[in-house]
Structure 1
Amino acid sequence: MIEVKDIDKSFGDNDVLMGISAKFEAGVTNLIIGASGSGKSTLLKCMVGLQKPDNGLVSYDEREFTTMDYGERIDIRKEIGMLFQGSALFDSMTVEENIMFPLNMFTEQSKEEKLERVNFCLKRVNLENTNKLFPAELSGGMMKRVGIARAISMNPKYLFCDEPNSGLDPKTSIVIDELIKEITEEYKTTTIVVTHDMNSVMGIGDYILFLHEGKKFWEGSNKEIAHTDIKELNDFVFASRFMKAAKDKF
């Protein structure tokens, strides 16, 4: 479980996060949603230590991450997997080398052990025998799946996904959503997905945190979101679904 308590973050006079508190449980898909500028990406960065909150605490299974020094944070960072918005694969590396990169950095496994783990991860995301391909030879959906394979290569306890469906067609987006949910349930990871994709919200949103103008406006499940009477949330849901329908049409 990851817990955030009373997180504040400002940049100059711009208050980006104001008193955000939430609990993200293991084994379920936790989604952070909100319009651009709502603070969801800043919250994710505070949670993984890329930015320091002005106030508040972030804890990983009751280990207070925000109060740790750099050396103490390394052990937790080894337990974190990241899927970046643009996949963030190294263009000059093969699929195999990309997935092996964190294993080379953080483990002392033999070459054979690393390759075995790479092949296991590729099989898990249905990309067997793509080891020697380069990112330029992959489709957008394949790149996302390689990104997921790299993210789970260290068998993480915590998995962060930043806009995993960005730039993908609806069919491929569903494949990525289902893969994230399957991995979360299979390995009991604490998975947090930052997204504005309402199909993802309705499809895999076990727990949803809605941010609006830096504040926590609502939390609940995808079964509850359609029955809320909060105007800001309804406006976001309607606008998101309308815009996606328009994009799909044209």
Structure 2
Amino acid sequence: MIEAKDIHKKFGDNEVLRGINSQFKAGKKNLIIGGSGSGKTTLLKCIVGLHEPTSGEVFYDGQNFTEMHFRERVPIRKEIGMLFQNSALFDSMSVEQNIMFPLNLFTDMSKSEKLDRANFCLERVNLEGKGKLFPSELSGGMKKRVGIARAISMQPKYLFVDEPNSGLDPLTSILIDELISELTEEYNTTTVVVTHDMNSVMGIGDHIIFLYNGEKWWEGTNKEIAHTNNKELNNFVFASPFMKAAREKL
């Protein structure tokens, strides 16, 4: 479990996060949603240590990550897998080299062991036999899946995913959501997903926090979201006619 306690984050005079408290549970898909500028990605970066909170604390299974020095954080960072919004693949590396990159940094596995692990991860995301290709030869959806394969290469205890469906067609988005869901359950991972995709929210949202103007405005499940009286959340989730019609059927 990951816990955020009273997280504040300022950039100059701009306070982006205002006292966020939440728990992200193991074996669950924990979604952070909200409009543009609400602080979703900033919160994610504070949790993984890419930003330091102005105040507040982050705990990984009871360990105070915020108070740790860089070297002390390494064991936890080895247990973190992350998929960035643009996949963040290295263009000069093949698919299998991209997947092996964290293995090269954090393990003493032999080259053959790393190749075996890379190929296993490719099979897991349904990209068997694509290891020799380069990112320029992949579609957007395939790049996302390679990003997921790299993220799980270290068998992470914690998986962070930033806007996994950005730029993807609806069918590919569903496939990515299903893959994230399967991996979370298979590895009992604490998965945290930043998304604005309402199909993802309603499809895989075990635990959802809604940010509004840098504050936690609502917290619950995808089943509870259809029956909330929270005005701002309703305006965000059910803004489109399609989502309004879907709500009426729930």
The TM-score with structure 2 as length reference comes to: 0.96
SS of 1:156's equivalent?
Answer: coil
Corresponding residue of 1:248? none
Amino acid corresponding to residue 56 of structure 2 in structure 1: G
Alignment of 1:30 with 2:42, yes or no, is no
SS of 1:5's equivalent?
Answer: strand
1: distance between equivalents of 2:87 and 2:9? 26
Deviation at 1:138, TM superposition (A): 0.7
* 1:83-162 equivalence runs, <5 A: 83-162=83-162
Q: Deviations over 1:147-167 (max 9, x none)?
A: 000000000000000000000
**Percentage of pairs with the same residue:** 73
2: distance between equivalents of 1:73 and 1:160? 16
SS of 1:219's equivalent?
Answer: strand
Amino acid corresponding to residue 228 of structure 1 in structure 2: T
SS of 2:238's equivalent?
Answer: helix
Deviation at 1:244, TM superposition (A): 9.1
The TM-score with structure 1 as length reference comes to: 0.96
SS of 1:196's equivalent?
Answer: coil
Amino acid corresponding to residue 156 of structure 1 in structure 2: P
Runs of 4+ deviating beyond 6 Å: none
1: distance between equivalents of 2:45 and 2:52? 8
Q: Deviations over 1:151-206 (max 9, x none)?
A: 00000000000000000000000000000000000000000000000000000000
Unaligned runs of 5+ in 2: 245-250
Alignment of 1:19 with 2:9, yes or no, is no
Corresponding residue of 2:7? 7
1: distance between equivalents of 2:13 and 2:242? 31
Corresponding residue of 1:219? 219
2: distance between equivalents of 1:167 and 1:48? 24
2: distance between equivalents of 1:122 and 1:29? 22
Alignment coverage as a number of residue pairs: 244
2: distance between equivalents of 1:232 and 1:127? 40
1: distance between equivalents of 2:217 and 2:174? 27
Amino acid corresponding to residue 197 of structure 1 in structure 2: D
Amino acid corresponding to residue 11 of structure 1 in structure 2: F
Amino acid corresponding to residue 236 of structure 2 in structure 1: F
Amino acid corresponding to residue 82 of structure 1 in structure 2: M
Residue 68 to residue 243, structure 1, CA distance change in 2 (3 Å) = farther
SS of 1:91's equivalent?
Answer: coil
Corresponding residue of 1:166? 166
